[in-house]
Amino acid sequence: MILDHSTQLHLSYCTNVHPGESLAEVENTLRRDVNAVRTAMAWAQPFGVGLRLAAVATRELVQSASRLDEFKALLAELRMYTFTLNGFPYGTFHGTPVKEEVYTPDWGDPLRLGYTCQLFAILEQLLPADVPVGTVSTLPGTFKPNASADRIASITAQLVQCCAELVACERRSGKRLVLALVPEPCCLLETTDATLSFFEERLLDETSRRSLDTLTGCGTRVAEELLRRHIGVCLDTCHAAVEFEPALAVYETLTGAGIDVAKVQISAGLIVDPNDATHLRALEQFDEPVYLHQVVQRDTDQLTRFVDLSDAFENHRKRGSKPADDAEWRVHFHVPISSADCGIFRSTRQELAPLLEHLSASARPPHLEVETYTWNVLPQAQRASNQAEAIASELRWAADLLRPKRLTK
């Protein structure tokens, strides 16, 4: 949905909430699920879609120009458009354990580069002529346990190659496409400081600039400008909150350093009191087998990270590991943003209003995408009986903060 034509303020939700890896399943999702959300919104204008395309569907779309034309025609028939793609999960994302496999192939693997370049080739064709920027969000380099020095060097080199493809695209079609890395707990890009360090010490260093010059002939003086133009960050507000980093502060720090926050995934996690036995018993329902749910514990001024909820529970059960009285857990479990709480827990939704109100006044806002992909694994009491209406409620809540007086139907 476009909320403000003058500033190109686009809001959508990510279709990674809906199961489906093949192109046929994606098309059914658009006809059935996305259309149901649009109906629940009573949205009469063209409806923006935050499209998730797995590697299987992506390969099908790039097989022939006619297949992509057919998909483009379907979007037009449904009066939908896409301005952003989710290129984070490569393979199956529902119904089977994903956990740390969601980070494979990582950015050190040529498969990741090839898949992402195919996504951009698709987006180049799907991006409407009146939308000046297209984005693809992607994983934060690699899972932190795999972040060896050699792996980081490979990751950087392949990101530069991806940038070269985007430079070529803009020269060819005039369309500016941006790869947006999503910082996440327990990954190479984890915190704001880690993200800044990666950009400044790796992606924008002399080696990367010379490499981009070799690939594009842009000249080393222009190379940094092009790297900043085509590679940025997708700020997932749940991830930031889990790291105890206020979303608006993260946005201002990154943009102040000249890093483009090209996309924001609007999401919320859980706030838990680890010294409350009722909280811990209720939290066990969230320890499900499909997704990774990182936990960050703030104990006085110290942060302790756990790769998954099960690790946090195991550590808590150990003798002598009782947190301080003021300790708090933040849990990476995306919960609906339409409510300030989730059962007995508060959510981190409190971090969203300052950021969204700030972005509503921005002359060049990032792409905005609600991303509650966990509806199907929430405890039964928290699941929506009508998922389309629940997603529409999330979109309405975000839109009210962004343009409460200028939102039109």
* Dihedral pair phi/psi, residue 61, rounded to 5°: -70, -30
**Distance between CA atoms of residues 402 and 354, nearest Å:** 10
DSSP-assigned beta bridge partners for residue 369: 12, 265
> Which token pair is 264?
């924001």
pTM for the whole structure: 0.96
Contacts of residue 201, defined as CB under 8 A and 6 or more positions apart, other chains included, come to none
User: Which secondary-structure segment (H or E) carries 49?
Assistant: strand 47-52
User: Would you write out the chain's pLDDT as a tens digit for each of its 409 residues?
Assistant: 877 778 889 999 999 999 999 999 999 999 999 999 999 999 999 999 999 999 999 999 999 889 999 999 999 999 999 999 999 999 999 989 999 999 999 999 999 999 999 999 999 999 999 999 999 999 999 999 999 999 999 999 999 999 999 999 999 999 999 999 999 999 999 999 999 999 999 999 999 999 999 999 999 999 999 999 999 999 999 999 999 999 999 999 999 999 999 999 999 999 999 999 999 999 999 999 999 999 999 998 899 999 999 999 999 888 666 778 889 999 999 999 999 999 999 999 999 999 999 999 999 999 999 999 999 999 998 998 899 999 999 999 999 999 744 444 3
Does residue 309 contact residue 270 with C-beta atoms inside 8 Å? no
Find out whether the peptide bond into 105 is cis, omega within 30 degrees of 0.
Answer: yes
| 3-state SS class at 179 | strand
| 3-state SS class at 341 | strand
Phi-psi domain of 214 (left: phi exceeds 0; alpha: psi -120 through 50; beta: other): alpha
DSSP-derived secondary structure for 133-165: EEEEEE--SSBGGG--HHHHHHHHHHHHHHHHH
Contacts of residue 355, defined as CB under 8 A and 6 or more positions apart, other chains included, come to 237, 247, 248, 251, 264
Q: Maximum distance among all alpha carbons in the chain?
A: 64
Phi-psi domain of 244 (left: phi exceeds 0; alpha: psi -120 through 50; beta: other): left
**Distance between CA atoms of residues 152 and 66, nearest Å:** 38
Q: What angle do CA 402, 406, 409 make, to 5 degrees?
A: 105
Topology classification of domain 2-268+349-402: TIM Barrel (3.20.20)
Burial of 113 (0-12, 13-18, 19+ CB in 10 A): buried
DSSP-assigned beta bridge partners for residue 269: none
**Distance between CA atoms of residues 122 and 75, nearest Å:** 13
Does residue 20 contact residue 29 with C-beta atoms inside 8 Å? yes
Where are the extended beta strands (E) located within 104-221? 133-138, 176-181
* Dihedral pair phi/psi, residue 383, rounded to 5°: -75, 150
**Distance between CA atoms of residues 87 and 120, nearest Å:** 10
**Distance between CA atoms of residues 219 and 197, nearest Å:** 24
Delimit the domains of the chain by residue range: 2-268+349-402
